[in-house]
Every structure is written in structure tokens, then in C-alpha cells.
């Protein structure tokens, strides 16, 4: 799959990064990255904040060093925000949660992030259930802080790991609706580096996501019908 440009001007690109592709070079030349794949048509680009390789969705890129510096300052001030959607396993017993578990990063051989009240760094993630399917739920996730694998580690700690997560969970299971990590950066919100005006760019689900959601809705409707028939 190739990255596609969703928004472009002289200062900024917002790209739909497919799952399995790095945002920027990561030391393994066999794994493609967005910067290299877009270099010929767009010239030099700079990543404002990376996304996990397995995740899809909105990747914010600066087209000039000055734009990158401005956007990084805005990010560090909390003015650049992402809204993620995730398909998690199970049916959360809550509608909304603010997860505040401190995280210690790069733990062990697999370099996981783990909750650690004593040695962990502060981490906050707002989670809201959008739709329930019984076997899975679609949740909106807003990271308030940015720690390595924060979203994945916090959802795992809640007992509702992201479907298909090989690091925070058992990896792909036969009942999972997608063949990869079900984490999508749905929207990025940022002050434009030239004007300061707020921009909101929404990135559509990949086609496999749409098919997965349709299948989950159909399965839930079938289960609901059978339950009604038993009454």
C-alpha cells in the first residue's frame, strides 16, 4: 500500500499512512517509509510526530525546516492533537475513561511500555466508546501525553487490548476483524505554521476498516435477532 496525500499547501502535508510502513527511516532498509516514498513527488519532508509502524492514518509532515520547528513547538505545547480510533477486544463496562497510569518505556527485550507507579513517567489517555459489537468495541482515543506505545499499553492495561496487537496482547486471533493492528489516526488538529489558524484534517478509514465495521455490525444484528427470538 502507498501513502496518500489528504491535505497539502506550501508548509504542510497530511498523509494517510498505511499500516506496515514506517513514518521515517528506522534503520531497516527493507521496511519502506513515508519520507522516502514521497521524496520524488514532494521533495524533502519532516515528520512532526511519528505514528507506530502498525498503525494507519493521519501523519503530519512539514515541508520546510521552519514549519517543522514551529509545529514541534506547538506539539510540545499541546496545541497539535490527534484523535485515534481503535477496535478493542471485548465490551468495556464504561462509556468513557481517563487513563492516568504512569508508563515505564523500553522494558525488556521487546521494549514494551508498562504501567509503573514508582518509576513510570506521567501518561494520560482519554478513551470513549463509540460503538459496541459485543465481541469488540470501536473506541475514540485522545492521547493527552505522548509516551512510547501509550495508547496500546493503556488499553491493554484496561483489559481491552487493540485487536491484532502483537506486542500488547496475543497478536492476531481468528475472530479479529482486521489482519493488522486496529489503530487508526482518524484526525489531526494543528495551528498552521504560517497563519496560526487551526486546521482539522480527517483521514478516512482504509477500505479494510470499512469492511470490518460492516461485518461486525452484521454479526451484532444477527446475535441480537437470535436473542430476541429466544425470549
Of the pLDDT bands very low, low, confident and very high (cuts 50, 70, 90), residue 169 is confident
How are beta strands 56-62 and 12-17 bridged, if at all? Answer: antiparallel
Give me the pLDDT at residue 31, please. 85
Gap between the Cα atoms of 107 and 114, Å rounded: 7
Tens-digit pLDDT profile for residues 170-229: 888 888 889 999 999 999 999 999 999 999 999 999 899 999 999 999 988 887 666 666
Gap between the Cα atoms of 207 and 187, Å rounded: 17
At residue 118, the 3 state secondary structure works out as coil
Gap between the Cα atoms of 11 and 196, Å rounded: 12
Of the pLDDT bands very low, low, confident and very high (cuts 50, 70, 90), residue 114 is very high
- Counting residues of the chain whose pLDDT is more than 70, the rounded percentage is 96
Q: Indicate the DSSP class of residue 110.
A: T
Which residues carry out catalysis?
A: 52
Give me the pLDDT at residue 231, please. 62
The domain that holds 190 is classified in CATH as 3.30.2350.10
Tens-digit pLDDT profile for residues 28-74: 777 899 999 999 999 999 999 999 999 999 999 999 999 999 999 99
Domain extent at residue 65: 4-230
Tens-digit pLDDT profile for residues 175-190: 888 999 999 999 999 9
- Nearest one of 167, 205, 222, 225 to 86, comparing CA atoms: 205
- Residue 147: pLDDT over 70: yes
Tens-digit pLDDT profile for residues 91-110: 999 999 999 999 999 999 88
For 164, other C-beta atoms within 10 Å of its C-beta total 22
Is residue 41 within 8 A of residue 57, CB to CB? The reply is no
Give me the pLDDT at residue 125, please. 98
- Residue 27: pLDDT over 90: no
Give me the pLDDT at residue 175, please. 86
Gap between the Cα atoms of 104 and 94, Å rounded: 26
Of the pLDDT bands very low, low, confident and very high (cuts 50, 70, 90), residue 136 is very high
Tally of structural domains, the chain:
1
Amino acid at each position: 500500500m502507498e501513502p496518500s496525500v489528504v491535505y497539502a499547501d506550501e508548509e504542510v502535508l497530511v498523509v494517510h499512512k498505511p499500516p506496515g510502513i514506517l513514518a521515517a527511516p528506522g534503520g531497516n532498509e527493507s521496511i519502506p517509509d513515508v519520507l522516502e516514498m514521497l521524496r520524488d513527488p514532494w521533495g524533502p519532508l519532516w515528520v512532526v510526530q511519528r505514528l507506530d509502524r502498525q498503525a494507519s492514518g493521519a501523519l503530519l509532515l512539514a515541508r520546510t525546516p521552519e514549519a517543522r520547528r514551529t509545529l514541534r513547538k506547538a506539539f510540545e505545547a499541546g496545541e497539535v492533537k490527534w484523535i485515534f480510533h481503535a477496535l478493542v477486544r471485548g465490551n468495556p463496562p464504561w462509556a468513557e475513561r481517563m487513563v492516568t497510569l504512569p508508563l515505564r518505556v523500553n522494558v525488556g527485550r521487546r521494549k514494551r511500555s508498562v504501567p509503573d507507579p514508582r518509576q513510570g513517567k506521567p501518561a494520560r489517555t482519554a478513551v470513549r466508546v463509540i460503538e459496541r459489537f459485543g465481541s469488540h468495541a470501536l473506541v475514540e482515543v485522545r492521547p493527552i501525553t505522548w509516551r512510547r506505545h501509550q495508547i496500546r499499553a493503556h488499553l491493554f492495561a484496561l483489559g481491552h487490548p487493540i485487536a491484532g496487537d502483537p506486542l500488547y496482547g496475543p497478536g492476531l486471533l481468528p475472530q479479529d476483524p482486521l489482519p493488522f493492528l486496529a489503530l487508526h489516526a482518524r484526525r489531526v488538529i494543528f495551528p498552521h505554521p504560517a497563519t496560526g489558524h487551526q486546521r482539522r484534517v480527517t483521514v478516512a478509514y482504509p477500505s479494510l476498516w470499512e469492511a470490518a465495521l460492516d461485518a461486525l455490525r452484521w454479526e451484532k444484528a444477527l446475535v441480537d435477532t437470535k436473542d430476541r427470538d429466544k425470549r
